[in-house]
Chains A and B, each alone.
Chain A
């Protein structure tokens, strides 16, 4: 079988294994078979078409993880549209911006969140969405809203064959939409099949939220193989004490998440009391896994195979590394990001787009099946993100500095720019600064990231504060909650009468780091 679209994967499995459980939601104690998932997604598709959704349109998805949101997502794909999932816990104004930015035709929103979304739309230049239908699926109520954004926005982006758009932190202060087509997603899914050889008996975790690129493996690889997907809700996914028994009781066989939650599980999950014999594979991605904590994890879970998967949202996974069964006791440097996935090509280049000699450091460029189409409606950003070689092949510039080490395994050395990873999420320090500048008392804001033993990275904001009274950290944090996703809120704040400048009158980040 060769699938042309992501929903073909579901349809094939629904024909082959209609009664097998496709998705389970342990928190609500509900599950859905392949047949029912496919049938309900058809119903969502019909509702969307009635609401005016046409192939090539975008449809927003705004809800916590549930069987209802999985059904919605496949209904959107079946309608020929691309889904645009947003963080249900991010400020509604940020989500309203995203939906307007990519001119969604409709939005499927959890009823409990719909009021805030409509209010947030009122702050934007476009018309508020109109409610059309309620859908209730497996304990979750969703509302279908129709928007006028598609008519009111000038869309220049070719929208054929789009599967989804994931918004990531943007250095200019506005999130930017990474566009993937069915073909780029399937290239990655098929690579996972060949590399990990999933079986019908596998039970995959779905830990990452759907707006996060790790969810692509979670959603489509098990459904392609007729396996079962076990949903881990956003709240449960952050609570090690509750999560540790769920992984055991649900007999999860393939786990995938950022290192952050695995570190919390080891430290606070009391994992020694549970039976993890079903677990056969552990994948992690999104940030560096410190060796000390990785060793502690392997002591709890000695038997599975471990893979470090690497790739920005723009490329899906593009390199991978399987950990040795034993971690040498004297090892302290993190493991490599590994070798290029078989469906992609990579090279290491200097700042003038020239290949560096093997073993020297440079920026990692990626080309191939799994690479994005571009950034939504940002032709200049898209052009700048790619390098075209003499044969007109597009290479995505990852911004990650690497070096080729032993056996062709790449070692990750750092970033070219001001992006950091926090709990696996991309955080552009510039986006935090833009949000802080919105505060009336802030005249200058500079944000830096510092290495932190416990959490990996600590974000510190330096502010030039105009009020004579000392600012309250608590009120400042509340201001951040209203303006930024939680994972972007600075850990610490410092107040300076003026920020240090370089000779060209730019903020001197180096000096700020030394001040710390």
Chain B
């Protein structure tokens, strides 16, 4: 598994476990809208960021906690990768 794939899997696992318990994992795709789709609200978004910071050793800037950076798993992976350089 490449880094990218394992990152995706870890993020997906977290979202499934915390915010979509009982959902069929196949339904959560890389481009499923999380914030605009009603899956993440403001509290769950900060929880997700706390998890990402912890798991990937990155820091999120305050202005990144929004739809542009976090709305899909793809965007989240992209944001993390750009931080890891």
What string of 1s and 0s marks CB contacts (under 8 Å) between A205-241 and chain B? 0000000000000000000000000000001001111
Q: Is the CB of B66 within 8 A of A240?
A: no
> Considering only CB atoms, which chain A residue lies closest to B26 in the complex?
A472
Contacts from B to A (Cβ < 8 Å) = 20-24, 27-28, 32-33, 36-39, 41-43, 46, 50, 60, 62-63, 65-66
Q: Is the CB of B66 within 8 A of A475?
A: no
What string of 1s and 0s marks CB contacts (under 8 Å) between A288-327 and chain B? 0000000000000000000000000000000000000000
Q: Is the CB of B66 within 8 A of A474?
A: no
The 8 sampled A-B contact pairs (Cβ below 8 Å) are A235-B66, A239-B42, A239-B46, A239-B62, A474-B23, A475-B27, A477-B39, A481-B37
Q: Is the CB of A474 within 8 A of B39?
A: yes
**Complex alpha-carbon distance, A241 and B22, angstroms:** 31
> Considering only CB atoms, which chain A residue lies closest to B35 in the complex?
A486
**Complex alpha-carbon distance, A76 and B63, angstroms:** 34
Q: Which residues of B contact A264 (CB under 8 A)?
A: 42-43, 46
Question: With A235-B66, A472-B24, A473-B23 in contact, is A478–B42 under 8 Å at CB?
Answer: no
> Considering only CB atoms, which chain A residue lies closest to B50 in the complex?
A268
Q: Which residues of B contact A423 (CB under 8 A)?
A: 42
The CB with the most chain A CB atoms within 10 A, among B32, B36, B42, B60, is that of: B42
**Complex alpha-carbon distance, A233 and B36, angstroms:** 18
Q: Is the CB of B43 within 8 A of A480?
A: no
Q: Is the CB of B63 within 8 A of A472?
A: no
Q: Is the CB of B27 within 8 A of A473?
A: yes
Q: Does A455 contact B (CB under 8 A)?
A: yes
**Complex alpha-carbon distance, A241 and B64, angstroms:** 10
Q: Which residues of A contact B24 (CB under 8 A)?
A: 470, 472
How many residues on chain A are close to B (CB under 8 Å)? 28
Contacts from A to B (Cβ < 8 Å) = 235, 238-242, 245, 260, 264, 267-268, 423, 454-455, 470, 472-475, 477-478, 480-481, 486-487, 489, 492-493
**Complex alpha-carbon distance, A487 and B24, angstroms:** 24
Question: With A239-B62, A241-B62, A264-B43 in contact, is A472–B23 under 8 Å at CB?
Answer: yes
**Complex alpha-carbon distance, A489 and B33, angstroms:** 15
Question: With A239-B66, A454-B43, A455-B43 in contact, is A472–B38 under 8 Å at CB?
Answer: no
> Considering only CB atoms, which chain B residue lies closest to A239 in the complex?
B65
**Complex alpha-carbon distance, A477 and B28, angstroms:** 12
**Complex alpha-carbon distance, A454 and B23, angstroms:** 22
The CB with the most chain A CB atoms within 10 A, among B36, B41, B62, is that of: B62
